[in-house]
Amino acid sequence: MAHTPESDALSAAILASVVQIRPDGAGGAGVVLERAGKTVIVTNAHVARARPGTPILVVTRSGAVVEARVERTDPFRDLAILVPPVDGDQARLRPAAEPGDISRLKPGHLVLAVGHPFGLANAISMGIVHSVGPIRGAFQLTEGRGQQPWIQADIRLAPGNSGGPLCDAEGRLIGINTMIVNGLGLAVPIPDVIQFLQGSTAPRHRGIGEPSGAI
């Protein structure tokens, strides 16, 4: 990509809200978001790997080390919320820009991911939207997770990208990078992340042909 003032501004905007979680290795990334005027950190449950109340070390973009606590996790949707304990720490975390509109996202749209692949801090990769929706094809995810909507991206991700942001060409947050399946990057779409942030769990989407409960 050509070096332009625009690309500089874009990377700066995306990078500002990305944190490193468990920087001692085997960690991942997280995104700073705002909830009811307070900053929280969203990441994957498999990156947090801890019960509510557990303290976890987080490194901010500016290099400050913050001790956040796990507030809630949703292993099914693989999401976790971490809360920085004091106001002083909160001030050092910069929330991500406005969430993007994923209803307008089509195959071919550019996407950018930020994370710490193999421990390489704050690396940006670029790709495109492959498809948006449940997983189809020759592989299955367990326990109905494949039936959940995913932003599927043709983008190079690696361990360490987990929990980090997937953004559109305007730098707006559209998903949380969660896993790599058949080489495709799978991100939890931002509407499900926001619902998780506000409610108790992320929404479960019933897939076609999945048996319903007693009716």
Partner 1 sequence: MSAPAFSLLDLSNQLALAVETAAGGIVAVHGRPQLASTGIHWRDGLIVTTNGTVRRDEDLSVTLPSGNRVAAALQGRDPSTDLAVLTIEPGLFPTVKLGDPGALRPGHLVLALGRLDESGARAAFGTLSRTGGAWRAWGRGEIDRLVQSDLTLYPGFGGGPLVDAAGQVHGVNSGRLSRPFTTTIPVETVNRIIDHLASRGYVRRGYLGAGMQSVLLQPQLRERLKLDREGGLLLSAIQGGSPAAVAGLLVGDVIIAIDRRPVTAPDDVLKILSGDTAGRSLSLDLVRGGKLETVDVLIGERPRGSHS
| Active site (catalytic) residues | 46, 78, 162
Task: Choose one: 29-37, 62-70, 106-114, 158-166; the region binding partner 1 (CB under 8 A).
Answer: 106-114
CB of 63 to partner 1, least distance (A): 28
Q: Verify binding: residue 187, partner 1, rule CB under 8 A.
A: no
Choose between 2 and 215: whose C-beta lies nearer to partner 1.
2
Q: Is 27 left (phi over 0), alpha (psi -120 to 50) or beta?
A: beta
Residue 67 or 101 having the CB closest to partner 1: 101
Q: What are phi and psi of 36, to 5 degrees?
A: 50, 45
Tokens 């492959």 -> residue: 130
Q: Which of 51, 62, 106, 198 contacts partner 1 by CB under 8 A?
A: 106
CA distance 126 to 114: 9
Buried-exposed string 162-183: b where 16+ CB fall within 10 A, e elsewhere: bbbbbbbeebbbbbbbbbbbee
Contact flag: residue 109 with partner 1 (CB under 8 A): yes
When binding is defined by CB under 8 A, the residue of 118, 182, 199, 206 that contacts partner 1 is 182
Here's the x/- map for partner 1, 127-166, by CB under 8 A: it reads as xxxxx-xx-xxxx------------x-x------------
CA-CA distance, 175 to 197, in Å (whole number)? Answer: 13
The mark string for 9-48 relative to partner 1 (x by CB under 8 A, - otherwise) is -x--------------------------------------
Residues that bind partner 1 (CB under 8 A): 1-2, 4-7, 10, 106-110, 127-131, 133-134, 136-139, 152, 154, 168-170, 182-184
